[in-house]
Amino acid sequence: MTRIVAISNRTAGEAASRAGGLAVAVWEALKASGGSWIGWSGDTVEEQPRGATTFNDEGVEFVLTDLTQEEFNGYYITYANRNIWPIFHYRVDLAHFDSEAFDAYAGVNQRIARLARPRIKDGDVVWVHDYHFLLLGDCLRREGWRGPIGFFLHIPFPAPEIFRALPEHAQIARAMCEYDVIGFQTERDTSNFIRYLTEDHGAAELGEGRVKVLNRTLTIKTYPIGIDAEDFAELAVSEKAQDAATRIGRFLGGRSFAIGVDRIDYSKGLPERFEAVGKLFDAHPDVRGALSVTQIAPPSRSKVEEYQELRLQLDQLAGRINGDYGDLDWIPLRYLARSFDRAELAGLFRIAQVGLVTPLRDGMNLVAKEFVMAQDEADPGVLILSEFAGSAERLRGAIVVNPHNAAAVAEAMHYALTMPLDQRVERWRELRETIVAEDIDWWRGNFLNDLTRAPEAA
């Protein structure tokens, strides 16, 4: 079996952090094939570290390096999270262009490549993840590695007109062409990237995902990420899940329940979602007092200013809606700014009548898939899904909405709450079938299959 060297900003070095879909997928792949997982330790230090912390777990070697405070500010905070993240999520207005930060970003990519190079052996494949490491393939080539390197982008790839707003777009794209396989979440992302390469770098499509560009031939394809579907369905009936459901049941007191679960991020459309909830209570007096909405949104990247502002905005909006509509024994919209155990989330999803997944942009959105897998076939809840979430490309059984249109989202919620059982079951079955067929093993297998065949294809 081909050994894998995985590189991502955060790894699953601690067993506790292996709970999420991606961490589990990469971990399973590494355990099966053997290999290394290289990334940031999560700590910052004064002076650039010479080495890295390494340890072995079940035959997988973890190689973690600290970042200097300067690297953290330039590479992580400014370039990755205040340039690439907003632009790739179509928010050019939120980008903080900064060429020094790009230098720090390129510097960390090169330093990680240098750290990785001695760990890569002939016959290995290298699998790089996400927007922190767009340049890493090129950096590894500079370190002399000629073997297969794959890259998977977890977030959207924007339309070329938006990507070009990034001053370093040409440099980034040229570096990306050093990868052998580039994977995107949706057909829309893949075609955006290919259109950009065609218009700006003279790329030609050869068929079956093969693209000739800048004197190289690479595979550029769509690999929609999935979840460990069966596992999540089991989690939803676990004791811990049932306990969580019982506890929230006490609070609901027989009312209907709608749930949203997101990291706090402007891409997730939370203020727009809160507005829609307000509109629902405005337009439909029948649901006043009869529905409670709970939004779970733990803070993320709290050092980024935009996130602090968003938190304030959400506190105000929730306060206003509860002030306007709430009653002595009813809180219309609950907002819990903390993280929950996966089993607890699964239990909450299971008893919800409505799942609200309404990002303004999202690479895939795994919460949509988790919500579906947690449902009870005998009485499934309804998924309301933004047309701008990558998952909407494949999840036909959802009610697909434009998250900017608060009135339409409110109507979709009302429609979901009043939908007859047979229609709910039909929609749910269709959703479940896709999610089970396109699960995390399917995703990983497809990607690694193309990556291990990359040398033949070339």
**For ligand ADQ, which is the closer residue by CB, 156 or 278?**
156
**For ligand ADQ, which is the closer residue by CB, 14 or 286?**
14
Tokens 């809160």 identify what position? 274
CA distances (Å), origin 185, targets 152, 312, 435: 8, 31, 14
Q: Which two tokens stand for residue 68?
A: 């200097």
Report the distance separating Cα 365 and Cα 434, nearest Å. Answer: 15
CB of 421 to ligand ADQ, least distance (A): 27
**For ligand ADQ, which is the closer residue by CB, 284 or 334?**
334
CB of 298 to ligand ADQ, least distance (A): 4
CB of 267 to ligand ADQ, least distance (A): 7
Report the distance separating Cα 301 and Cα 317, nearest Å. Answer: 21
Amino acid at 439: D
| Binding interface with ligand ADQ (CB under 6 A) | 20-22, 154-155, 225, 261-263, 296, 298, 339-340, 345, 362-367, 370
Helix, strand, coil fractions of the chain, as percent rounded to 5? 50, 20, 30
* Known active-site residue 154: yes
Catalytic site residue from 89, 129, 132, 154: 154
Secondary structure of residue 288 in the 3-state scheme: coil
| 291-296, strands of its sheet edge to edge | 333-336, 291-296, 256-261, 354-357, 382-386, 399-401
CB of 23 to ligand ADQ, least distance (A): 10
- CB proximity list for 63: less than 8 A, separation 6 or greater: 36, 37, 38, 39, 52, 53, 54, 115, 116, 119
CB of 264 to ligand ADQ, least distance (A): 9
Catalytic site residue from 362, 414, 439, 450: 362
**For ligand ADQ, which is the closer residue by CB, 21 or 35?**
21
**For ligand ADQ, which is the closer residue by CB, 19 or 170?**
19
* Known active-site residue 362: yes
Tokens 């429609």 identify what position? 415
Which sequence positions are flagged as catalytic? 154, 362
